[in-house]
């Protein structure tokens, strides 16, 4: 019996959708419960979108001793595979260069992108953000950090509203990008210690003024100015949630519960960090399964 992975043309849409759902359930701890509130077709599309994002992240972040040049080459190969998959002139999606398991991705991914007309620039920006993550991360200013957040999270928000359906044109697109930035800033504050252990520090250097450094973060040791520096960043994240608040009213009614649930889950994480900022130096802040289910239930009950 051959153990070779299937090529894309041998994978059915049903198999591909199942694969994408399994990856989302396994890795998207905060997204999965919100996505369950979508109608079946949009839910399957969001699973495909997340699975693509996850596979890109795996290429960049998987610690297996590969040199930087190899990871860059693999991301560029992934970009080529993605463009080829979205080329409507091809009869079938390509057999990907890597990773071999991603053969299962392409039918559902192509269906998602073509059905909902997700701009290809979204996928190019995500890959560019992952390439940026390959080198030691450091930002001197918030403008630099903001551009990074747009690449790795803002464009994910943009892709999502194409699946969900929206009105309001470019103004709504900017709201979706701002909501993605709010989520990413929440992730950055939650993961300070974990990122420091990988020599990554995402907060603007000109704002922390020595109140945080990689060594102290790795050791879980707060500096005297740690809480004040955290408060400044927490307020900024809160502001992004606030200024993107009109987004909910611009989204198709059948998808609003998902956006509401996902936002409330991430905002609850921010509030938990804000209550005791030092806790991010001791453990990964998270919500209980029951809390996520309760948020999802409330969002569903509030459906217009």
**Residues in contact with 205: Cβ distance below 8 Å, sequence separation at least 6, in sequence order:** 138, 139, 140, 141
- Over residues 32-51, the mean pLDDT reads 92
* 28 lies in some domain: yes
* 125 lies in some domain: no
Q: Is the pLDDT of residue 187 over 70?
A: yes
Identify whether residues 167 and 293 lie together within a single domain.
yes
The predicted pLDDT at position 300 comes to: 67
The predicted pLDDT at position 146 comes to: 95
- Over residues 42-59, the mean pLDDT reads 92
Identify whether residues 91 and 156 lie together within a single domain.
no
Residue where a domain terminates, one of 87, 117, 147 = 117
126-181 pLDDT, tens digit per residue, is 999 888 888 777 899 999 999 999 999 999 999 999 999 999 999 999 999 999 99
CATH, residue 297? 1.10.600.10
Instruction: State the pLDDT confidence band at 198, using cuts at 50, 70 and 90.
Output: confident
74-121 pLDDT, tens digit per residue, is 899 899 889 888 876 444 455 554 444 568 899 999 999 999 999 999
Identify whether residues 108 and 245 lie together within a single domain.
no
Identify whether residues 207 and 95 lie together within a single domain.
no
Instruction: State the pLDDT confidence band at 5, using cuts at 50, 70 and 90.
Output: very low
| Contact present, 115 and 44 (Cβ < 8 Å) | no
* pTM to 2 decimal places: 0.88
Which residues span the domain enclosing 28? Answer: 8-117
* 43 lies in some domain: yes
* 123 lies in some domain: no
Q: Is the pLDDT of residue 304 over 70?
A: no
Q: Is the pLDDT of residue 257 over 80?
A: yes
The predicted pLDDT at position 2 comes to: 31
């Amino acid at each position: 019996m051959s153990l070779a992975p299937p090529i894309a043309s041998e994978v059915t849409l049903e198999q591909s959708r199942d694969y994408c759902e399994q990856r989302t359930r396994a890795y998207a701890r905060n997204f999965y419960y919100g996505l369950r509130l979508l109608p079946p077709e949009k839910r399957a599309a969001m699973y495909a979108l997340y699975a693509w994002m996850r596979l890109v992240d795996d290429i960049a972040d998987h610690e297996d001793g590969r040199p930087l040049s190899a990871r860059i080459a693999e991301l560029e190969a992934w970009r080529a595979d993605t463009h080829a998959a979205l080329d409507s002139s091809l009869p079938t999606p390509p057999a990907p260069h890597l990773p071999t398991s991603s053969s299962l991705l392409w039918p559902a991914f192509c269906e998602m992108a073509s059905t909902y007309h997700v701009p290809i620039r979204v996928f190019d920006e995500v890959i560019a953000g992952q390439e940026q993550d390959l080198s030691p991360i450091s930002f001197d200013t918030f403008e630099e950090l903001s551009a990074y957040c747009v690449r790795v999270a803002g464009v994910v928000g943009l892709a999502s509203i194409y699946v969900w359906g929206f009105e309001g044109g470019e103004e709504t697109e900017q709201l979706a990008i701002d909501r993605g930035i709010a989520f990413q800033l929440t992730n950055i504050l939650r993961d300070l210690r974990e990122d420091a252990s990988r020599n990554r520090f995402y907060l603007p250097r000109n704002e922390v003024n020595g109140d945080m450094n990689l060594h102290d973060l790795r050791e879980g040791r707060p500096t005297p100015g740690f809480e004040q520096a955290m408060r400044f960043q927490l307020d900024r994240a809160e502001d992004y949630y606030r200024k993107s608040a009109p987004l909910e009213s611009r989204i198709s009614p059948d998808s609003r519960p998902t956006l509401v649930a996902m936002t409330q889950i991430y905002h609850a994480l921010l509030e938990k960090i804000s209550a005791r900022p030092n806790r991010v130096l001791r453990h990964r802040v998270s919500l209980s399964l029951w809390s996520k289910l309760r948020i999802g239930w409330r969002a569903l009950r509030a459906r217009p």
